[in-house]
Chains A and B, each alone.
Chain A
Protein backbone atom coordinates (compact mmCIF):
# COMPACT_ATOMS: atom_id res chain seq x y z
CA UNK A 1 0.00 0.00 0.00
CA UNK A 2 2.00 2.96 -1.30
CA UNK A 3 -0.46 5.59 -0.07
CA UNK A 4 0.66 9.04 -1.11
CA UNK A 5 4.08 9.67 -2.59
CA UNK A 6 5.99 12.73 -3.77
CA UNK A 7 8.90 13.14 -6.14
CA UNK A 8 11.54 14.30 -6.11
CA UNK A 9 12.22 14.35 -2.38
CA UNK A 10 14.94 16.96 -2.78
CA UNK A 11 15.45 19.48 -5.56
CA UNK A 12 17.89 22.31 -6.10
CA UNK A 13 17.20 24.68 -8.96
CA UNK A 14 18.07 28.16 -10.11
CA UNK A 15 16.03 31.33 -10.25
CA UNK A 16 13.91 31.51 -13.38
CA UNK A 17 13.78 27.79 -14.09
CA UNK A 18 10.58 25.80 -14.34
CA UNK A 19 10.17 23.07 -11.75
CA UNK A 20 7.46 20.43 -11.42
CA UNK A 21 6.79 18.58 -8.20
CA UNK A 22 4.87 15.34 -8.49
CA UNK A 23 2.26 13.86 -6.20
CA UNK A 24 0.65 10.46 -6.57
CA UNK A 25 -1.92 8.72 -4.38
CA UNK A 26 -3.23 5.16 -4.57
CA UNK A 27 -6.40 5.57 -2.50
CA UNK A 28 -8.57 7.14 -5.22
CA UNK A 29 -9.26 10.06 -2.90
CA UNK A 30 -11.27 12.79 -4.58
CA UNK A 31 -9.52 15.71 -2.93
CA UNK A 32 -5.87 16.64 -3.22
CA UNK A 33 -3.92 19.57 -1.83
CA UNK A 34 -0.57 21.32 -2.06
CA UNK A 35 0.93 23.12 0.93
CA UNK A 36 4.17 24.89 1.57
CA UNK A 37 5.78 24.76 4.99
CA UNK A 38 7.91 27.68 6.12
CA UNK A 39 9.35 28.56 9.51
CA UNK A 40 7.09 31.03 11.24
CA UNK A 41 4.22 30.45 8.82
CA UNK A 42 3.27 26.85 9.44
CA UNK A 43 1.47 25.22 6.51
CA UNK A 44 -0.13 27.38 3.88
CA UNK A 45 -2.43 26.06 1.19
CA UNK A 46 -1.28 26.73 -2.36
CA UNK A 47 -3.89 24.95 -4.50
CA UNK A 48 -6.40 22.19 -4.08
CA UNK A 49 -8.53 19.97 -6.24
CA UNK A 50 -11.93 18.43 -5.56
CA UNK A 51 -11.77 16.00 -8.50
CA UNK A 52 -10.09 15.46 -11.83
CA UNK A 53 -10.13 18.66 -13.89
CA UNK A 54 -11.37 20.73 -10.92
CA UNK A 55 -8.82 22.93 -9.18
CA UNK A 56 -9.01 26.02 -7.00
CA UNK A 57 -6.66 28.53 -5.43
CA UNK A 58 -5.63 28.44 -1.83
CA UNK A 59 -4.01 31.07 0.35
CA UNK A 60 -0.74 31.52 -1.59
CA UNK A 61 -1.25 30.53 -5.27
CA UNK A 62 0.86 33.18 -7.00
CA UNK A 63 3.74 31.74 -9.03
CA UNK A 64 2.31 28.21 -9.04
CA UNK A 65 0.27 26.20 -11.54
CA UNK A 66 -1.51 22.90 -10.99
CA UNK A 67 -3.32 20.38 -13.12
CA UNK A 68 -5.27 17.24 -12.42
CA UNK A 69 -5.96 15.15 -15.50
CA UNK A 70 -6.13 11.92 -13.48
CA UNK A 71 -7.58 11.39 -10.01
CA UNK A 72 -4.35 9.90 -8.67
CA UNK A 73 -1.93 12.62 -9.79
CA UNK A 74 -1.69 16.28 -8.81
CA UNK A 75 1.51 17.93 -10.10
CA UNK A 76 2.59 21.37 -8.93
CA UNK A 77 4.60 23.55 -11.31
CA UNK A 78 6.66 26.59 -10.49
CA UNK A 79 6.72 28.34 -13.86
CA UNK A 80 9.67 30.61 -13.07
CA UNK A 81 11.18 29.76 -9.70
CA UNK A 82 12.12 32.52 -7.28
CA UNK A 83 14.19 32.39 -4.10
CA UNK A 84 11.06 33.06 -2.05
CA UNK A 85 9.73 29.72 -3.24
CA UNK A 86 12.46 27.87 -1.36
CA UNK A 87 10.38 25.75 0.99
CA UNK A 88 9.22 22.28 1.90
CA UNK A 89 6.20 21.29 -0.17
CA UNK A 90 3.64 18.79 1.07
CA UNK A 91 0.96 17.11 -0.94
CA UNK A 92 -2.12 15.72 0.81
CA UNK A 93 -5.26 13.85 -0.11
CA UNK A 94 -8.65 13.44 1.46
CA UNK A 95 -11.92 11.63 1.14
CA UNK A 96 -15.15 12.29 2.97
CA UNK A 97 -16.04 8.59 3.04
CA UNK A 98 -15.98 8.65 6.83
CA UNK A 99 -17.66 12.02 7.08
CA UNK A 100 -14.41 13.71 8.07
CA UNK A 101 -12.12 16.23 6.43
CA UNK A 102 -9.01 14.38 7.65
CA UNK A 103 -6.11 14.77 5.23
CA UNK A 104 -3.29 12.32 4.58
CA UNK A 105 0.11 13.78 3.82
CA UNK A 106 2.96 12.81 1.56
CA UNK A 107 6.61 12.79 2.72
CA UNK A 108 7.36 16.26 1.35
CA UNK A 109 9.72 17.75 -1.24
CA UNK A 110 12.47 20.04 -0.03
CA UNK A 111 13.02 22.64 -2.76
CA UNK A 112 15.92 25.08 -2.80
CA UNK A 113 15.97 27.91 -5.33
CA UNK A 114 19.40 29.49 -5.76
Chain B
Protein backbone atom coordinates (compact mmCIF):
# COMPACT_ATOMS: atom_id res chain seq x y z
CA UNK B 1 0.00 0.00 0.00
CA UNK B 2 1.14 3.51 -0.69
CA UNK B 3 0.99 6.24 1.91
CA UNK B 4 2.00 9.90 2.13
CA UNK B 5 2.65 11.62 5.44
CA UNK B 6 2.83 15.36 5.94
CA UNK B 7 3.60 15.69 9.65
CA UNK B 8 2.79 19.38 10.00
CA UNK B 9 -0.78 20.61 9.69
CA UNK B 10 0.32 24.23 9.98
CA UNK B 11 3.63 25.96 9.40
CA UNK B 12 3.87 29.62 10.31
CA UNK B 13 6.92 31.69 9.33
CA UNK B 14 7.88 35.32 8.82
CA UNK B 15 8.51 36.84 5.43
CA UNK B 16 12.09 36.22 4.34
CA UNK B 17 12.55 33.14 6.51
CA UNK B 18 13.44 29.76 5.01
CA UNK B 19 10.65 27.24 4.60
CA UNK B 20 10.68 23.46 4.58
CA UNK B 21 7.46 21.50 4.23
CA UNK B 22 8.02 17.86 5.03
CA UNK B 23 6.73 14.90 3.06
CA UNK B 24 7.48 11.26 3.72
CA UNK B 25 6.14 8.39 1.69
CA UNK B 26 5.73 4.66 1.82
CA UNK B 27 5.90 2.75 -1.46
CA UNK B 28 7.68 -0.43 -2.41
CA UNK B 29 8.59 0.50 -6.00
CA UNK B 30 9.81 3.65 -7.74
CA UNK B 31 7.24 6.36 -7.12
CA UNK B 32 6.44 9.57 -8.92
CA UNK B 33 6.19 12.43 -6.42
CA UNK B 34 4.37 15.73 -6.74
CA UNK B 35 3.73 18.90 -4.78
CA UNK B 36 0.40 20.62 -5.38
CA UNK B 37 -0.54 24.05 -4.04
CA UNK B 38 -4.01 25.38 -3.28
CA UNK B 39 -4.45 29.12 -2.72
CA UNK B 40 -7.45 30.25 -0.73
CA UNK B 41 -10.64 28.75 -2.19
CA UNK B 42 -9.00 27.96 -5.51
CA UNK B 43 -8.30 24.76 -7.39
CA UNK B 44 -5.23 22.67 -6.80
CA UNK B 45 -2.32 23.50 -9.07
CA UNK B 46 0.78 21.48 -9.73
CA UNK B 47 3.81 23.13 -8.17
CA UNK B 48 6.56 20.56 -8.70
CA UNK B 49 7.13 16.99 -9.78
CA UNK B 50 10.32 15.17 -9.00
CA UNK B 51 10.96 13.89 -12.52
CA UNK B 52 11.35 17.40 -13.94
CA UNK B 53 13.77 18.61 -11.22
CA UNK B 54 12.75 22.23 -11.76
CA UNK B 55 12.33 25.23 -9.48
CA UNK B 56 8.94 26.92 -9.51
CA UNK B 57 8.30 30.20 -7.67
CA UNK B 58 11.58 29.63 -5.84
CA UNK B 59 10.52 26.25 -4.48
CA UNK B 60 12.58 23.10 -4.92
CA UNK B 61 12.09 19.50 -3.82
CA UNK B 62 14.50 16.61 -3.97
CA UNK B 63 13.48 12.98 -3.87
CA UNK B 64 15.50 11.12 -1.24
CA UNK B 65 14.84 7.43 -1.78
CA UNK B 66 16.96 6.41 1.20
CA UNK B 67 14.88 8.48 3.60
CA UNK B 68 11.69 8.09 1.50
CA UNK B 69 11.19 11.84 1.60
CA UNK B 70 10.28 14.62 -0.80
CA UNK B 71 10.53 17.78 1.27
CA UNK B 72 9.60 21.14 -0.28
CA UNK B 73 11.99 24.01 0.35
CA UNK B 74 12.23 27.72 -0.30
CA UNK B 75 15.09 29.87 0.99
CA UNK B 76 13.08 33.08 1.49
CA UNK B 77 9.33 32.88 2.06
CA UNK B 78 6.99 35.52 0.60
CA UNK B 79 3.53 36.49 1.83
CA UNK B 80 2.03 35.25 -1.44
CA UNK B 81 3.32 31.76 -0.62
CA UNK B 82 0.60 31.42 2.02
CA UNK B 83 -1.48 28.45 0.87
CA UNK B 84 -2.24 24.80 1.47
CA UNK B 85 0.42 22.45 0.14
CA UNK B 86 -0.21 18.80 -0.68
CA UNK B 87 2.36 16.15 -1.35
CA UNK B 88 1.17 13.34 -3.63
CA UNK B 89 2.51 10.00 -4.80
CA UNK B 90 1.82 7.85 -7.82
CA UNK B 91 3.09 4.36 -8.52
CA UNK B 92 5.86 4.54 -11.10
CA UNK B 93 5.06 1.66 -13.40
CA UNK B 94 2.18 2.15 -15.79
CA UNK B 95 -0.67 4.27 -14.63
CA UNK B 96 -1.95 4.54 -11.12
CA UNK B 97 -3.94 6.98 -9.05
CA UNK B 98 -2.50 9.71 -6.83
CA UNK B 99 -2.35 9.30 -3.08
CA UNK B 100 -2.35 12.63 -1.28
CA UNK B 101 -1.04 13.61 2.11
CA UNK B 102 -3.36 15.52 4.43
CA UNK B 103 -1.74 18.81 3.56
CA UNK B 104 0.26 21.52 5.32
CA UNK B 105 -1.06 25.05 5.61
CA UNK B 106 1.76 27.55 5.18
CA UNK B 107 1.20 31.02 6.67
CA UNK B 108 3.76 33.69 5.89
CA UNK B 109 3.47 36.76 8.07
CA UNK B 110 4.87 40.20 7.19
Contact = CB atoms under 8 A, between A and B. Distances in A.
Interface residues on A, range: 20 to 34
A31 interface: yes
A83 interface: no
Interface string B56-91: 000000000000000000000000000000100010
B100 A50 contact: no
B41 to A, nearest CB: 8
Interface string A74-98: 0000000000000000101000100
Interface residues on B, range: 20 to 34
Interface string A21-50: 000000000010101000011111100101
A114 B58 CA distance: 43
A102 interface: yes
Contacts of A48: 97
Interface of A: 31, 33, 35, 40-45, 48, 50, 58, 90, 92, 96, 100-108
Q: Which 6 A-B pairs have the closest CB atoms?
A: A42-B102, A101-B90, A43-B100, A105-B44, A105-B43, A42-B103
Interface of B: 6, 32, 34, 36, 42-46, 49, 51, 86, 90, 95-98, 100-103
